Amino acid sequence: MPGKLYLVATPIGNLEDITLRALKVLKEVQLVAAEDTRHTGLLLKHYGISTPLSSFYSYNQKDKAPELIRRIQDGIDVALVSDAGTPGISDPAVALVSQAVEAGIKVVPIPGPTALISALIASGLDTSQFVFTGFLPVKSGRRTKVLEQLERETRTIVIYESPHRISRTLQELADVFKSRPAALCREITKLFEEFERGTLPELSEKYRTKKPKGEFVIVIAGKE
């Protein structure tokens, strides 16, 4: 009998956010496939879990995905985790999941933390409808096109951003979206968790001089 592929959500900061079901699955599977085995190894060690680890990230997914599929078909259960949050959201999990589905393997989601939803519900903006874009493109031409499309979006918009690009991104968003209300969410669930709210120009001005630390989620009001 073939095994199963479990998609296990892990904490985005606070280790206590992991679910009892996630811990049970991580203990019972025969292999945990992780973006960074060192990072996930610390999580497993914290909870006394000794399941073997194997790396699965964007640069080895082409070769590693077929290997993991073969092992599941041979009868082992594999848990796929990202560095933080839910697999498949801005990480390479989709490559493995699509191949598992094509191979007729049972895919089992184990729900849990995600920065996307945590930022959205704490933003103070409309949550009834939203669009998630992940990280904006790096190349300027494609980036400009995406921002122009998003400016016309009437649903709440959620964007991920890294600390070394947050200042530039906020300035570009202020230029395109003008005085649109927004929330800047940083280090969600961690010790220095912070939610800053205001217009995009106000938030952009803050980060002209403020040294950015940690990962960011930007939530922007949709166009009226």
- Which residues on adjacent β-strands are paired with residue 216? 161, 186
The whole-angstrom separation of Cα 70 and Cα 201 is 51
| pLDDT value, residue 92 | 86
Q: Indicate the pLDDT class of residue 90, thresholds 50, 70 and 90.
A: confident
**pLDDT single digits (tens) 94-107:** 999 999 999 999 99
| pLDDT value, residue 74 | 97
Q: Indicate the pLDDT class of residue 211, thresholds 50, 70 and 90.
A: confident
Token look-up 């892990």 returns 10
| Number of CB atoms found within 10 A of residue 170's CB | 25
Q: What's the pTM value of the predicted model, to 2 decimals?
A: 0.92
The whole-angstrom separation of Cα 52 and Cα 195 is 37
Contact 170, 204 (CB under 8 A): yes
Contact 155, 130 (CB under 8 A): yes
**pLDDT single digits (tens) 172-208:** 999 999 999 999 999 999 999 999 999 999 999 999 9
Best CA proximity match to 189, nearest among 39, 22, 12? 12
